[in-house]
Structure 1
Amino acid sequence: MTDRVVAALQALVRLPTVSDRDPARVDTDAFDRLLAELAAQFPLLHERLDLTRVGSHGLLFHWAGASAERPVVLMAHLDVVPVDGDAPWRHDPFGGEVHDSDVGPAVWGRGTLDDKGCVAAICDAVESLLEAGHAPAQDVWLSFGCDEEVSGTAAVEAVEVLRERGVTPWLVLDEGGAIAGGAFPGVKSPLGVIGVTEKGTTSLELVAEGRGGHASTPARNGPTARIARAILRIEKSPFPASAPAPTLELMRRLAPHVPLPLRPVLKPLLGRADRLAPVVTRALLAAGPEAAAMTRTTVATTTLSGSPALNVIASTAKAGLNVRVMVGDTVAGVVEHVRTAIDDESIRIDVVESGEPSPISPMDEPFELLEACIAEVFPEAVATPYVMMAATDSRHFTAISEHVYRFAPFRMTKAQRQAIHSYDEHIGVADLVDGARWYARLIERLPR
């Protein structure tokens, strides 16, 4: 298992399957070669499982089990985000090389954590079980999307295929959480965070227009000035904060693991988090941006555009806003909040992309199965639910299943988590192997 899963991930990383919202800019040859590489690395999987193609290069495998009563969907995606050519990568981002790291020998490159590591680990687990003659207790579906990073349609098509076949998944598992080290200040134990919901992803664009003209005769309150003022007003008007149920449960589960000097103070507080929600919310807001994002809808200004030249006053200025909509909020409410904050009728607000938050999945038998597998493979971790801040393809599966979870079974340091969509992305070799072992145990433990 060790050599194969590492070699498979290296081969997948070397193929630059970068997705793009413009299909004409996608290197379809890289995706073709990746699908061929998967077939070469995992021949039994391709020979014995039924395959349906979805989207341009998405894959939906069906492994028939002893029963189809409680089918399971394991998800990952084949595409990756682009590499910033100016970023200081220590190793070739598309080299798939093994080098030493903060977590020991590691595979380096774009997609090792997001999300080709999951693809390789899932496929290796299935291949190993097939080699051992294992037959799953329930039907197992593998859904590998090809355009997750651009909010594409492959996952939507996969859901439609399952709906047409009358499949109502008992459990859907996608990327998202991890065995996260250093996730909470002072807590030494890593957290096995399982996303039971995810924020909605919405994109807004602020547009200010004017006459423009020569830069030697600027007028007050031109388009760029109004956009700048609007951005500052939004930053000074954060959304109301409150801790949703999964966050309060996370705090409750952390209570026995707080540092000993703080335990007399924090343990009673965290242990009664559900009854002291306002206090917990204030504590999270004070703990930094990562913790604060667990309590509210967030807005980040990500793109700016204005004049085409230094000596020309812009006739149109724009600002792109990336909004992560908290459970309990709505896109309509977000737009109204932004409109009120900027307080400028001359600025137009365009909704470029609209995504509501996902429903909260229950913490019943499927969730307990994930917990049990974490306890077996990662006994040092504290399994807990959480609200995922990013978006995954799994949000589409909430239309056919109420048990949708987000968890990648890999140990990740804080530095590794920060490398996702950034530079120096890497996964420990031992952690990759343990992730494949975790997926195998999950399949082996499916209830009959």
Structure 2
Amino acid sequence: MAETPNQSRDKSSASPWFMRSALAIGLAVVFIALLNNARQSSTSHWLESYGPGTESETCQQVPKLSPTNKRVETYIRETVQSAEYQREVIKKLSGIIQIPSESYDELGPIGEDDRWDIFFQIESYLKDTYPTVFQNVKLDHANTHGLILTWQGSVSPSQAKPILLLAHQDVVPVLMENVKDWTHPPYDGHYDGEIIWGRGATDDKGYLISIIETLDLLIKSGFTPKRTVILAFGCDEEISGENCGRPISNFLHEQYGNDGIYLIMDEGSTGIQREFDRSFAMIGVAEKGYLDVGINVSSTGGHASNPPDHNAIGILSEIVVAIENNPFLGKITSKNPMFHFLECAAVYAAGSSFPMSDRRTLSKAAAQDNNISQKQLDQALGNMKYHFRTSQSMGKINGGVKINAIPETASTMVNLRLAVETSIAQVEAHYESLVKTISRKHGMVFKGFHSTCDPSVSRKICLFGVDALEPAPISPADAESYHILSGTIKNVLKPLGQDDELIVTPYLMPANTDTKFFWALTKNIYRFTPVNLVENLNRAHTTNEFIRADEFVREPLFFASLILNSDDVVD
């Protein structure tokens, strides 16, 4: 293309301008490099600089927050402390445990598979047990068994966004062959004077009874909310939530729209625990992502007397070994809520429980120091290591139908929980890279995620994903709703052991809840169970699930205080 006169004239005068620009760019590059070095230097001493006296700068704690409505607060507090009340609420939890509302992976549609009918019993039980609640709330159904209870506030939801408390009615199944291993039958709801035993005691019928009990107490106290209060009970949280969790979310979204909810509370996997020899109230402000990866290997079959060097099972085994030998590496970044939990621990923990050597290792890891090995990082993190990395677990494997026949297919399923810094696309790329190498080695056709696995091709390896879920958005720890929740925790709940203070901190849920369907309704999604879950959580989903009665009976005081405190900020 021919130059224009202006282009020709500009070229002769461009040299000084270009030199000035190059110098400016060079200086900018140097400045950015110095800034990055300064940041890295700062991060490299990250946890080492925290300790007593740095509380005002890091892990600031809000003061206790007591409701202004002292009459109602006193009524709730005195009621839940009475022996008669405690006997009654324990009996209510025992009763709902006795309804075996199991959800199964292979359930058919609601209305067609009669195993869903058990949830009619749950609804009837709640109506019979809480007549006062159902006389004062509007009950809606989402896909038959999703229950939505709306206690209308005096102020329009457009002016005071509703508070939403979630729980689920379903429990994981109990295998018949395991019933004999239970101290008390799983569906007896046995109370031994200290502990309430049974499937669902912790996950999640204790939570469900606590929040509906809260409404019952508030209504009986004469309290009239300004802010609308919504309770929503799913029916299939343990099997993905598509049948109730998603329909409930869709129903509420139609009612209130994007960002139409003030605060969502759901069960937490942490609650109050003791770490680093200090008591922490751990609020789940995010959840790890989720992905099930399926790997199918197809090869030619035949008689076992004339086998190939590597049949489908052998090749699949090679893939499994490659996956386990190439785990996802841990990473410490400020995006992870656990980053801020470690800061809180560094400020409040005694030096002996969080030694400087571990702080130095974690600080260097946060500064991306390549001299820190994965083993060193895992040792410093201890049982928290999978909060900082994507986990992978081989869950199922199938292959072969007869000992003297060469298997034509073999398959496995891998369960992954995605770190907050990663994505489904990154995980898929990692698996495709590993498996593609093995497929080439054996001269097999490779089909990655999002491609068609051609059934006419006899020798192939295919990958597919199931139940893909990106890591949850991180809820703000500086929002008004978080401060109200923190202040309520400080006011109602007590530290463990001899600690003089319960430290409230953001935390990460490694598992998933029904909140995965509610991201559009609010940014303020918090997962927290107001009890000591150290022992309880270890029993969820397995033999001898239980909840301590002395902790369970106090939960309604916490939820009532949260509702009252949230109501106090309404103009």
2:91 alignment counterpart:
7
1:165 alignment counterpart:
255
Per-residue deviation at 1:161?
A: 1.6
Per-residue deviation at 1:59?
A: 0.5
Q: Does 1:303 align with 2:374?
A: no
Aligned residue identity for 2:266 = D
1:71 alignment counterpart:
162
Q: Please list, as runs of the form range in 1=range in 2, the aligned pairs for 1:236-251 lying within 5 A after superposition.
A: 236-243=325-332, 244-251=335-342
Classify 1:223/1:313 alpha carbon distance in 2 versus 1 (closer, same or farther; 3 Å): same
Which consecutive unaligned segments of at least 5 residues does structure 1 have?
Answer: none
TM-score normalized by the length of structure 2: 0.72
Classify 1:270/1:306 alpha carbon distance in 2 versus 1 (closer, same or farther; 3 Å): closer
2:536 alignment counterpart:
416
Moved more, 340-349 or 227-236: 340-349
What CA deviation, in whole Å up to 9, does each residue of 1:64-97 have, x standing for no partner?
A: 1232222111001011111133432222111111
Per-residue deviation at 1:289?
A: 6.9
Name which of 254, 266, 271 aligns with 1:174.
266
User: Aligned partners of 2:330 and 2:404: how far apart in 1?
Assistant: 43
Per-residue deviation at 1:262?
A: 4.8
Q: Please list, as runs of the form range in 1=range in 2, the aligned pairs for 1:28-47 lying within 5 A after superposition.
A: 28-47=116-135
Classify 1:271/1:129 alpha carbon distance in 2 versus 1 (closer, same or farther; 3 Å): farther
DSSP-derived class of the 2:562 partner: helix
1:352 alignment counterpart:
466
Q: Please list, as runs of the form range in 1=range in 2, the aligned pairs for 1:181-196 lying within 5 A after superposition.
A: 181-182=273-274, 184=275, 187-196=276-285
The question of whether the paired residues in 2 share the 8 Å contact of 1:50 and 1:61 is answered with yes
Aligned residue identity for 2:329 = P
Pairwise CA RMSD: 2.5
Name which of 232, 235, 257 aligns with 2:324.
235
DSSP-derived class of the 1:44 partner: helix
1:59 alignment counterpart:
147
The question of whether the paired residues in 2 share the 8 Å contact of 1:200 and 1:324 is answered with yes
Aligned residue identity for 2:419 = M
User: Aligned partners of 1:332 and 1:118: how far apart in 2?
Assistant: 35
User: Aligned partners of 2:347 and 2:375: how far apart in 1?
Assistant: 20
What CA deviation, in whole Å up to 9, does each residue of 1:170-213 have, x standing for no partner?
A: 1111112433434x3xx233321111111111111010011233
Aligned residue identity for 1:4 = E
Aligned residue identity for 2:325 = K
Aligned residue identity for 2:564 = E
Q: Does 1:213 align with 2:305?
A: no
What CA deviation, in whole Å up to 9, does each residue of 1:271-304 have, x standing for no partner?
A: 9899757679976522577411111111111011
The question of whether the paired residues in 2 share the 8 Å contact of 1:194 and 1:386 is answered with yes
The question of whether the paired residues in 2 share the 8 Å contact of 1:60 and 1:158 is answered with yes
Aligned residue identity for 1:71 = P
Moved more, 260-269 or 428-437: 260-269
The question of whether the paired residues in 1 share the 8 Å contact of 2:300 and 2:408 is answered with yes
User: Aligned partners of 2:374 and 2:520: how far apart in 1?
Assistant: 30
Rg comparison, structure with higher value: 2
User: Aligned partners of 1:264 and 1:215: how far apart in 2?
Assistant: 59
Moved more, 72-81 or 322-331: 322-331
Aligned-residue sequence identity (percent) comes to 28
Q: Does 1:134 align with 2:190?
A: no
The question of whether the paired residues in 2 share the 8 Å contact of 1:252 and 1:272 is answered with no
Classify 1:34/1:282 alpha carbon distance in 2 versus 1 (closer, same or farther; 3 Å): same
Name which of 316, 330, 334 aligns with 2:423.
330
Aligned residue identity for 1:330 = S
Classify 1:193/1:349 alpha carbon distance in 2 versus 1 (closer, same or farther; 3 Å): same
The structure that is strand-richer by fraction is: 1
Per-residue deviation at 1:352?
A: 2.1
Q: Please list, as runs of the form range in 1=range in 2, the aligned pairs for 1:264-303 lying within 5 A after superposition.
A: 265=356, 285-287=378-380, 290-303=383-396
The question of whether the paired residues in 2 share the 8 Å contact of 1:362 and 1:402 is answered with yes
The question of whether the paired residues in 1 share the 8 Å contact of 2:338 and 2:387 is answered with yes
Q: Does 1:155 align with 2:270?
A: no
Give the number of equivalent residue pairs: 440
Q: Does 1:396 align with 2:493?
A: no
DSSP-derived class of the 1:399 partner: coil
Classify 1:57/1:159 alpha carbon distance in 2 versus 1 (closer, same or farther; 3 Å): same
Classify 1:274/1:361 alpha carbon distance in 2 versus 1 (closer, same or farther; 3 Å): farther
The question of whether the paired residues in 2 share the 8 Å contact of 1:258 and 1:267 is answered with no
Classify 1:341/1:280 alpha carbon distance in 2 versus 1 (closer, same or farther; 3 Å): closer
DSSP-derived class of the 1:17 partner: coil
User: Aligned partners of 1:275 and 1:220: how far apart in 2?
Assistant: 46
1:27 alignment counterpart:
115
TM-score normalized by the length of structure 1: 0.91
The question of whether the paired residues in 2 share the 8 Å contact of 1:56 and 1:146 is answered with no
Q: Does 1:253 align with 2:331?
A: no
Classify 1:418/1:309 alpha carbon distance in 2 versus 1 (closer, same or farther; 3 Å): farther
The question of whether the paired residues in 1 share the 8 Å contact of 2:362 and 2:377 is answered with no
Name which of 77, 91, 116 aligns with 2:184.
91
